[in-house]
């Protein structure tokens, strides 16, 4: 097989895994998030699935810069569904997708982590400009203003440096600053040995989601509702994370409905769940921790 054909086949496999991870994200009930069983926040699951299909070609365009992937994926999403369903997912997957194109990146978690660090180190001002335009287009709730490198202005620094400024208040930005260390930690902690994306079920998704939500105050909740609410949700998640098969409990459904009724959406935890599941799905047979 030629190098071109091999690259095309690899890109197709990565795209398929991405769409699958996004489908799982909304197929499974995750409290406060939109799911097939539980629409919310004026959105429904079909919009998220359509968003994944729309964003995938741009995210996995071989050789494209990270900023270009972000901007084109967000534009495609908005054209497909007319609202912001996946900005956080796009921001997370774009550098990861670029990293998979480096030689040997998919041999294992350590190799991919090294490739990700190399991609992040090369992010520049054009990447930041494109990402800033995408963020303004998506117009996420609770964005606010920043004293330095504000997204409403032209970025004076590269994308990784801009994300580093936001890292103390945003968990997605922190992944750029810290080389996706939290994601690789979640991969080790929360994805069981023998995991296969094609056969993944509710327990797999909820384990990863509750792992994120129980260890970190959700950035989306913090932006919209404040630190106290985010810590309250995190504390509740810690109890559920220790219980097997939480989705079978009526109280789990009630928690989901209560969060939605209050407009509380742990969207950052959901975005990071997609990224974690996708990595586990594209690496060689996953051996867990």
Domain that holds residue 230: 3-282
Per the structure block, which two tokens stand in for 158?
């590269």
Domain assignment of residue 288, yes or no:
no
When computed from its CA atoms, the radius of gyration of the chain, rounded to whole angstroms, is 18
pLDDT in tens, the chain (289 residues): 454 455 656 788 999 999 999 999 999 999 999 999 888 788 899 999 999 999 999 999 999 999 999 999 999 999 999 999 999 999 999 999 999 999 999 999 999 999 999 999 999 999 999 999 999 999 876 555 555 656 777 888 999 999 999 999 999 999 999 999 999 999 999 998 889 998 998 999 999 999 999 999 999 999 999 999 999 999 999 999 988 777 678 999 999 999 999 999 999 999 999 999 999 999 987 666 5
- Of 200, 212, 217, 224, the C-alpha closest to 278 is 200
Do 268 and 88 contact (CB within 8 A), yes or no? yes
Rounded Cα gap, residues 33 and 274, in angstroms: 13
Domain assignment of residue 203, yes or no:
yes
Sign (positive or negative) of CA dihedral 15, 16, 17, 20? positive
Residue 238 sits in a domain of what CATH number?
Answer: 1.10.4200.10
CA dist 197 to 114, 135, 163, 203, 278, Å? 23, 29, 30, 12, 8
Rounded Cα gap, residues 280 and 174, in angstroms: 20
In this prediction, residue 200 carries a pLDDT of 92
Per the structure block, which two tokens stand in for 209?
């989601």
Q: For the packed helices 202-215 and 227-241, what is the interaxial angle rounded to 10 degrees?
A: 140
- Can you give the pTM of this predicted structure? 0.93
Phi-psi domain of 32 (left: phi exceeds 0; alpha: psi -120 through 50; beta: other): left
Domain assignment of residue 99, yes or no:
yes
Do 163 and 146 contact (CB within 8 A), yes or no? no
Domain assignment of residue 289, yes or no:
no
- Of 61, 54, 80, the C-alpha closest to 8 is 61
Domain assignment of residue 273, yes or no:
yes
Angle at 184 between CA 228 and CA 43, to 5 degrees: 55
Domain assignment of residue 9, yes or no:
yes
Domain assignment of residue 287, yes or no:
no
Domain assignment of residue 172, yes or no:
yes
Rounded Cα gap, residues 30 and 269, in angstroms: 10
CA dist 75 to 58, 83, 85, 258, 271, Å? 10, 10, 12, 32, 18
In this prediction, residue 150 carries a pLDDT of 64
In this prediction, residue 193 carries a pLDDT of 84
* Structural domain total, the chain: 1
- Of 157, 202, 195, the C-alpha closest to 176 is 157
């Amino acid at each position: 097989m030629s190098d071109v054909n091999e690259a095309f086949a690899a890109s197709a496999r990565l795209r398929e895994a991405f769409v699958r991870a996004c489908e799982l994200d909304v197929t499974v009930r995750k409290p406060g998030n939109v799911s097939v069983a539980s629409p919310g926040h004026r959105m429904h699951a079909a919009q998220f699935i359509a968003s994944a299909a729309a964003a995938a070609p741009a995210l996995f365009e071989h050789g494209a810069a990270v900023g270009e992937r972000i901007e084109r994926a967000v534009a495609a999403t908005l054209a497909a569904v007319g609202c912001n369903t996946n900005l956080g997912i796009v921001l997370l997957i774009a550098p990861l997708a670029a990293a998979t194109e480096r030689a040997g990146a998919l041999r294992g978690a350590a190799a991919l982590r090294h490739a990700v660090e190399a991609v992040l180190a090369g992010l520049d001002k054009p990447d930041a400009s494109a990402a800033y335009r995408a963020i303004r287009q998506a117009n996420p709730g609770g964005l606010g203003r920043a004293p330095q490198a504000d997204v409403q202005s032209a970025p004076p620094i590269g994308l990784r440096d801009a994300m580093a400024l936001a890292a103390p208040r945003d968990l997605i930005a922190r992944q750029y600053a810290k080389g996706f260390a939290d994601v690789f930690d979640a991969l080790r902690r929360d994805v069981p040995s023998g995991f296969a994306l094609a056969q993944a079920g509710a327990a797999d998704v909820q384990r990863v989601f509750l792992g994120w939500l129980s260890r970190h105050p959700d950035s989306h909740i913090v932006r919209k509702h404040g630190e106290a609410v985010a810590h309250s949700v995190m504390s509740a998640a810690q109890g559920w994370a220790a219980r097997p098969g939480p989705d079978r409990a009526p109280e789990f459904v009630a928690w989901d409905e209560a969060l939605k009724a209050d407009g509380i959406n742990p969207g950052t935890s959901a975005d990071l769940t997609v990224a974690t599941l996708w990595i586990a799905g594209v690496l060689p047979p996953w051996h867990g921790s």
